[in-house]
Amino acid sequence: MSNKEILENIKKLSKQEKRNFSYDNLVEIMSKLETNEIIELSNIIGYPVFTRLCMGALKHKFVLLQDGAAAIIVNENGQILLQSRADNDRWGLPGGCQELGERFEDTIIREVKEETNLDITEDNLELIAIVSGNSRRNEYPNGDVVINNTALYCVKNYSGTLKWDEESKNMKFFDLDNLPMNQNDPDLIAIYRNILNKKSI
């Protein structure tokens, strides 16, 4: 089987099947691939999952530093869009991890489309902060611990119909003074509030 056929077969697997690759199986596959094909494999599986699979028995013990992007999507009423995340039952901003070779702009455009079905373009993006440090630490039910470096964008122009996938339980716009208590990204929302307060002075 050619390398191209191997990658095409992996593309056809479900998300769960990709997560269930054994370390030995991954080593066998990667030993046949060139660097560009390994990057493609990483992007097919998803960089954070791929990185953990490469760690073998340590995959849930290693604290992973991740780069990614998040969006404060604002509607005509000044409300912001939050998603009720399926993995931790908290309300968070649309966004996710950067894939190998992606710019932050590409990451947030892709993630917003995947998670909300909304279309945004690079012209719609206003970079408002690069956020890092311990406020960006997240822990997951499977034991994974990550610390995210996050490019935070504000988006006021978008198109499409709101729709979500299995990563979310619900998605809706909230007034800033009536946000749900169980938030996933309070640090990012606080930064946005501070920017609004400075503009109003």
Residue 164: its pLDDT value, please?
83
Sequence-ordered alpha helix ranges (H) in 46-178 = 47-53, 104-116
Which pLDDT tens digit goes with each residue over 14-54? 989 999 999 999 999 999 999 999 999 999 999 999 999 99
Give the pair of three-digit tokens for residue 99: 């894939």
Sequence-ordered alpha helix ranges (H) in the chain = 3-11, 15-19, 23-30, 35-45, 47-53, 104-116, 186-200
Dihedral sign of CA atoms 94, 96, 98, 102 in order: negative
Residue 199: its pLDDT value, please?
74
Domain ranges, ordered by start, for the chain: 3-58, 64-200
Q: Which CATH number fits the domain 64-200, given the four candidates 1.25.40.850, 3.90.550.10, 3.90.79.10, 3.30.559.10?
A: 3.90.79.10
Residue 165: its pLDDT value, please?
77
pLDDT mean for each 10 residues of the chain (201 residues): 93 92 93 95 94 92 94 96 85 94 96 95 96 91 91 97 84 94 92 86 52
